[in-house]
Amino acid sequence: MWACKHGCVIAISSPEKPTYLITDLPPDETAAPLLDFMQQYINHDTGEFPYKKLHDLFPSATLVQIPTVLL
């Protein structure tokens, strides 16, 4: 990925769930919110996550949800 100018970058994906790309994460404040998000993502059948809740977890980040592509 060409995200070198965007601080910490995380991509989260799973089969049949949307992929989330989260950039501009502050390295010293990311671990706890990321663990919270990952637990909810894993436990949710479709992986859908409300934008507001995601923004509340990562207020300074750039957030992208990429829809699932089923072939």
Which residues have CB under 8 Å from 33's CB, separation 6+?
57, 58
CA distances 29 to 1, 2, 21, 25, 43, Å, are 22, 23, 17, 8, 23
- The torsion angles phi and psi of 21, rounded to 5 degrees, stand at -115, 120
Listing DSSP states for 1-19 in one string gives: ---TTSSEEEEE--TTS-E
Question: In the prediction, which pLDDT does 6 show?
Answer: 57
> Residue ranges of the domains in the chain?
8-66
Q: Would the pTM count as exceeding 0.75?
A: yes
pLDDT grade for 17, boundaries at 50, 70 and 90: very high
Both tokens of 51, joined, read: 């934008």
